A and B are shown apart, each in its own frame.
Chain A
Amino acid sequence: QKEVEQDPGPLSVPEGAIVSLNCTYSNSAFQYFMWYRQYSRKGPELLMYTYSSGNKEDGRFTAQVDKSSKYISLFIRDSQPSDSATYLCAMSAVDSNYQLIWGAGTKLIIKP
């Protein structure tokens, strides 16, 4: 079993829909949770960063962490075609020298 599980998709939704992307993990020591966005033929870029449990909102994006369930989510409201990309979750813990452990990435397609 991988430390971080993420459905690779693709996930296809119509423009304007609410998108929910998820990752599960097995290491309870993870404290830092990130979502990176990767456009085709580009490197990943940090989208959202959360420490420990709770929610964080930034514009149309909301990141949620549920440490009791070992489950994190990224919600995208009013999705746009420009949101079409691969979304990778990443996590780290102090006892792993803060190395990022990556999910496989979910390919998201927003249809106009």
Chain B
Amino acid sequence: DAGVIQSPRHEVTEMGQEVTLRCKPISGHNSLFWYRQTMMRGLELLIYFNNNVPIDDSGMPEDRFSAKMPNASFSTLKIQPSEPRDSAVYFCASSPSILNNEQFFGPGTRLTVL
């Protein structure tokens, strides 16, 4: 099993640009989570999906952030327009079900907004 796949691994962009992060969950997993990690705030849940449906997006910081899961094997997190304070490591994680506490994390995307 390839595990959770995220792309790109690193992204450097300028303020105001659109950023799209991608995630492929583990096959057969029904739940998908997007997290952001910074030194100051730790690991924050942004949004999670169950069976491709967004369940809770209360962690999405602003309207500049949006996430989609068009099918069971792909999800995107988009930031438009990006700001320097969005610089962080963004993790995607998947889980067999919403009731399963074990989440399998991808390697993360390190985003730097200049």
Which residues of A are in contact with B by a Cβ distance under 8 Å?
Answer: 32, 34, 41-46, 49, 88, 90, 92, 97-100, 102-105
Contacts and interface: CB of A to CB of B under 8 A. Distances in A.
A34 B48 CA distance: 19
Given A43-B106, A45-B105, A100 B98 contact: no
A43 B101 contact: no
A43 B92 CA distance: 9
B98 A43 contact: no
A105 B101 contact: no
Interface of B: 4, 42-43, 45, 48, 55-56, 91, 93, 98-108
A34 B101 contact: yes
Contact of A46 (B42, B48, B91, B103): B103
Give the secondary structure class of A's interface.
loop
Contacts of A97: 55-56, 98
A105 B107 contact: no
Contacts of A46: 102-103
Contacts of A100: 45, 101, 103
Contacts of A90: 101
A10 to B, nearest CB: 12
B17 to A, nearest CB: 24
List 8 tightest A-B contacts by C-beta distance, closest first.
A43-B105, A104-B42, A102-B43, A46-B102, A32-B101, A44-B105, A43-B91, A43-B108
A42 B98 CA distance: 23
Nearest to B102: A46
Contacts of A44: 43, 91, 103, 105
A23 to B, nearest CB: 12
Contacts of B99: 98
Contacts of B105: 43-45
